[in-house]
Amino acid sequence: MSSAPPPDHGHLRGGAPRILPASAYWRGWPEVRADLRSSVAIVLAFAVAGGLAGLVWWWLAPRVDFRITDTGPALIGSPSEEVLVADDTVLLAILAVVGLLGGTAAWFLRRRRGVATVLALAVGGVAAGLVAWQVGELLGAGPTEAQLADVGGVVTSSLTLGSLAVLAGAPFTALLAYVVAVLYAPGDDIGRTDASGPAADRLPAGDEPPVDDERALVEVPPPG
């Protein structure tokens, strides 16, 4: 009675362990140095996206109008109580979208999947939040003293960030998107492809892992 062959647990013929490709090994500083240019590009892209996020925040965040009277500013209409936290909520949602898009886009940089990309996503996400915060508050500045002294005039409340924790939205979602993609990667090399160009992209001499080639295996019979 024949039995089914045992499942393959990542070993080659003869019981030898399967050798992973070079892209599956973390090379330390040489790999980070090779990925440095793309990492800087990721951070700059996040900073630019932060500027656009600040514009969207200024456009979407609800604010309150006041009419200047002899006794001071008087509220116009009856805005919702949630308007007090609306600025933070809107910015958090915008930064979360920026982070998700950035983390997903970074995953498709197949040659640059690795530690440097993870660090770039964290730094870039923080940069996006800071830039969006400053751009939004600059565009949504409060009324000047001259406007407050103009009786009968209408002024609009300033766009203000209430909690700095909102700025963590972009780096958190960027890393979340990237880590989820890593978890579903089919192999230990997370799909990273090796470059055959600059020496910085190659393994240092003496550190190359053995080639995954069954033809290189020589089965030597036991003595006797």
Residue-range domain boundaries for the chain: 28-187
pLDDT tens digit string along 114-123?
Answer: 788 889 999 9
Q: Cα torsion for 89, 92, 94, 95, to the nearest 10°?
A: 170
pLDDT tens digit string along 103-114?
Answer: 999 888 766 677
Residue 193 DSSP code? -
What lies within 8 Å, CB to CB, of 4 at 6+ separation is none
pLDDT tens digit string along 149-178?
Answer: 667 777 677 788 989 999 999 999 999 999
Instruction: State the Cα–Cα distance between residues 72 and 118, nearest whole angstrom.
Output: 51
Instruction: State which amino acid sits at residue 219.
Output: E
Burial group, residue 127, by CB count within 10 angstroms (0-12, 13-18, 19+):
buried
Per-residue confidence (pLDDT) for residue 203, from 0 to 100: 42
What lies within 8 Å, CB to CB, of 141 at 6+ separation is 158, 159
Residue 28 pLDDT class (50, 70, 90 cuts): low
Is 0.75 topped by the overall pTM?
Answer: no
Structure tokens, 87: 């600025």
Residue 206 pLDDT class (50, 70, 90 cuts): very low
